[in-house]
Amino acid sequence: MDGTVFLRGPRYVLGEEELDHTELPDLAAKADEYGLAPDAGLWGWGSVFRTTRGLDELAVDAGTATLRATGTSPADVDALVFCSTFVPGRPEGHGTFLRTVLTGIGLGDVPVYGLSLNRCVNLLAGIDVASSLVAARRYRRILVVTADRVFDEADRITGYALFSDGAAGCLITGDGGGDNDDAYEVLGCANAQETASLDWSAEISSDLARQVNESLLGPLAMKVTELDVLLHANIFLPVLVMKERQAGFSRDQLNTANVTRVGHCFAADPVLNLADLEAAGGVRPGGHYLLASSIPGSRLGVLLRKPAHEKQEATLHAR
């Protein structure tokens, strides 16, 4: 292992019940409360997914799907990074919760790292931590999983998104997995923070997004325009498009279909969107993809490159 880090097997699961936004009983009142014009096309209101299942069940399904996609045995996983904005119950029950997740996925007595305070940036923070640990050769393969759901239906509708329940996972490893793998090389992770703006009442900052872009792309002498796709959070379209355009991205680089199809699945959105892009054949050998998410006062990005294997490299150079 030479210090190169790969992200493999982006997968996700959603709540088992799909609801159209018109079925949300409080939408009109909430829209009025937040000053949102009742225009579904403007905001990207579409479907949300709801579950009655526990976070542990969602996490098990997402983690299992990732290992299955990469052909990785649970016995070959060295650590778990688990991310969630809220684990219900008292802290005394968190050990039992983690035991259920570990045994459900089939993992052994592996270390667990828990992340929660990064809110909807949790999953990218988890990927950052896992990438650093693998690059330092502390572990070979780390499973990263996020799971979240709405526990109070009054919280499903906010002034910036319609929330879905779900989970997502990926494997961070020093092994690309061979010529026929779905691996992405992790070229870098970067975050930017403005402590004074961490309160939820503050706005998402395009300045922080530009700082992250410079941290990731500057050392590679790349420009934002050279990125294939931005895999972002699925928040309301006007906010998303305005903030990311201000950060330097073009409209064509935004991947907004899931704002309507899925809604905002907490921290899972960037990996969820990558999995869908991959499934739709939208990933090209040699392409660069930025996973990024913002909350007030914080932005985190993970820059990926889809490796081109030898035959693909020869084809690309011949063009």
- Please list the helix, strand and coil fractions of the chain in percent, rounded to the nearest 5, in that order: 40, 25, 35
CB atoms within 10 A of CB 102: 22
Q: Which amino acid is at 36?
A: L
Q: Which residues of 34-49 are buried (b: 16+ CB within 10 A; e: fewer)?
A: eebeeeeeebbbbbbb
CATH classification for the domain delimited by 184-309, as one of 3.40.1190.10, 3.40.718.10, 3.40.47.10, 3.30.2350.10: 3.40.47.10
71-80, pLDDT tens digit by residue? 999 999 999 9
153-169, pLDDT tens digit by residue? 999 999 999 999 999 99
Task: Report pTM.
Answer: 0.94
Domain 6-173, CATH homologous superfamily name and number: Thiolase/Chalcone synthase (3.40.47.10)
10-50, pLDDT tens digit by residue? 999 999 999 999 999 889 999 999 999 999 999 999 999 99
Instruction: Please state the length of the chain.
Output: 319
Residues contacting residue 127 through CB under 8 Å, at least 6 positions apart: 7, 81, 144, 170, 172, 186, 189, 291, 302
Cα distance between residue 125 and residue 267, in whole Å: 10
Q: What is the pLDDT of residue 182?
A: 79
Whether 151 and 88 have beta carbons less than 8 Å apart is answered as yes
Q: What is the pLDDT of residue 117?
A: 93
Domain(s) of CATH 3.40.47.10: residues in the chain: 6-173, 184-309
Q: What is the pLDDT of residue 165?
A: 98
Q: What is the pLDDT of residue 2?
A: 64
| Residue whose structure tokens are 């052994």 | 108
Token pair for 6:
């790969």
Q: What is the pLDDT of residue 316?
A: 42
Q: What is the pLDDT of residue 179?
A: 55
Whether 295 and 205 have beta carbons less than 8 Å apart is answered as no
144-155, pLDDT tens digit by residue? 999 999 999 999
Measure the CA dihedral 114/120/123/129, to 10°: -60
In sequence order, what are the beta bridge partners of 235? none
First to last CA, the chain: 32
Q: What is the mean pLDDT of residues 232-254?
A: 97
pLDDT at position 249 over 60? yes
